[in-house]
Amino acid sequence: MSADNPSTDGKDWTHLYIEAVDFHAIKITASVVHGFGRGSKELGIPTANLNMEEVGDKCELKAGIYYGWTNLKEVMYETVVSIGWNPFYKNEKKTIEAHLLQKLPDFYGERISILICGFLREECNFDKLDDLISCIHSDIRVAKLKLLEDIPAHYADKSTWPS
Ligand code: ADP
Ligand code: RBF
Ligand code: MG
């Protein structure tokens, strides 16, 4: 799989998506820490895991899948974000993980800012790993469409971000 060419293997996940109403963009800044290493190896979808100790009160954000922008070394990348307990893996701790929609070299230890622009869906459990992967590919496709809309596109310019 490649972030550039997401495929959902013909599966339709549209029933999972929720129309966000009156969502205000939220900025989270923290450094990138190591997780379980599953994103790249098991899913083929690396996720930059945030150091939750640096996240502050934003760690209370509702669990779910979001889309937005990540500022990594002053470059903005389209991003999908997973917040929660990863029910498929039954994590014991809440995580915030960002998949940037571009292939990149590792950036562990970097301080990144994620601007969350909208909510896509609740976290789900799946019968099999392939369904989790296919649903994430669907999230990427939906996120790309949402990020073309006026307000998220406005945030491609960092000077418009809230402090
Ligand atoms: P971990 O469990 O340690 O988070 P992952 O397999 O999820 O491991 O890989 C995440 C790491 O991959 C990130 O911390 C980052 O250094 C690197 N990486 C490379 N490209 C990307 C990308 N497009 N999105 C997110 N992380 C990426
Ligand atoms: N994990 C789940 O258990 N259920 C989900 O619905 C789910 N959706 C995700 C959507 C996106 C866009 C991303 C990037 C991750 C998602 N994850 C989900 C988290 C995934 O299990 C996690 O990134 C890997 O376990 C690697 O840490
Ligand atoms: Mg990860």
Catalytic residue check, 97: yes
Q: How many CB atoms lie within 10 A of CB 77?
A: 18
Rounded Cα–Cα distance for residues 121 and 49 (Å): 19
Rounded Cα–Cα distance for residues 122 and 128 (Å): 18
> For 88-146, what is each residue's pLDDT tens digit?
999 999 999 999 999 999 999 999 999 999 999 999 999 999 999 999 999 999 999 99
> Which two three-digit tokens encode residue 51?
């150091």
Q: pTM surpassing 0.85?
A: yes
By most ligand atoms within 8 Å of CB, the mutation choice from 4, 40, 99, 103 for ligand 1 is 40
Catalytic one of 97, 122, 123, 149: 97
Confidence check: pLDDT of 3 > 50? no
Q: Taking a C-beta distance cutoff of 8 angstroms, is the pair 62, 108 a contact? A: no
Element (H, E) at 49: strand 48-50
